[in-house]
Amino acid sequence: MENVKYSKVSGIATYLPEKVLTNDDLSKMVDTSNEWIVTRTGIEQRHIASDDEYTYDLAYKSAIKSLEQENLSAKSVDCIIVATTTPADKCPSTATKVQSMLGATNAFAFDIQAACSGFVYGLSIADSFIKTGKARNILLIGSETMSKVTDWSDRSTCVLFGDGAGSCIVSSTTNDEHKIIDTKLYSDGERYDQIVIHNSLKNGGMGHMTMKGAEVFKSAIRCMSDSMLDILRNNSMSIDDVNWIVPHQANARIIKSLCELNGYPLDKTIISLQKHANTSSATIPLAIDYGMQNGKIKKGDMLLITAMGAGLTWGSALVRL
């Protein structure tokens, strides 16, 4: 048993672009208001990348913070995983660009595309790499510039999204007190068309997002609820064993409905979207960092993480920090 390796999560860090777009700012662009947006989404503002600021820039700035927190050199990183829906280029990967910017010459690097579930998918992949001995220190990043694929004339979607990045170090440990306990991943291609950013190969250029809002709302509640129940059941745990629920930060009404459906206490649920809106794959690390910075999440806490995104993809993770 001494040789059993676990994977731990540490060095959680985030980056948000300097420009802030408030709801009042948006009301000058489309027919909306601060009250309308807050009532329906809980969002108060979002951060917007500048014209010459790309997904890899946000990822790099977040990654630097993670490495500094853990006093880890870039050359000590074995693997870089970037979850993103909004790469600056179709090819090569955002992860290899970040590798170059960091000087992480000993790492292998790749992107994953699971939309808003990307960070949860990345946790599961990193956990597997650690436990099978493929890597010792993995830099996991969720980074998005959603503003670049948002139709700012579409009131139904433009109020929802923002830009940001979050990262962490997933590393090997023999200490089972701080570890990724379990991850569960799911997808349903039959609901492929509920959220789509149209491919340039079809449309002659990167298209804007289209979303079937009412269907996505219902799917998000059901999918995240089911995956949370599954992972708790599979580990013989209940919600009482969890310190904090960390859901994907898409809409405050979705999060509240998720808790109401299962009788989960809202006061042990992290909600940070009011500050950054839906940043897709970056919302989970942004929410964890928000909880830590506000004195809620502490070392040793048990987190129940859950997300759903386009695909549809969804999943949950149990992590003791």
Contact indicator for 147, 163 with CB cutoff of 8 Å: yes
Would residue 248 show up in a list of annotated catalytic residues for this protein? yes
Contact indicator for 141, 62 with CB cutoff of 8 Å: yes
Contact indicator for 194, 215 with CB cutoff of 8 Å: yes
Active-site residue, selected from the candidate residues 248, 251, 259, 276: 248
Would residue 278 show up in a list of annotated catalytic residues for this protein? yes
161, β-bridge pairs: 278
Contact indicator for 111, 95 with CB cutoff of 8 Å: yes
Query: Coil, strand, or helix at residue 301?
Result: coil
Residue 304 neighbours by CB under 8 Å, 6+ apart: 228, 231, 232, 239, 242, 244, 245, 246, 316, 317, 318
Residue located via tokens 């070392």: 299
Active-site residue, selected from the candidate residues 79, 116, 158, 168: 116
Contact indicator for 281, 83 with CB cutoff of 8 Å: yes
Q: From CA 114, how far away is CA 306, in angstroms rounded?
A: 13
Residues in the chain, how many? 321
* Interior angle at CA 296, CA 292 and CA 298, nearest 5: 65
For the annotated catalytic residues, the residue numbers are 116, 248, 278
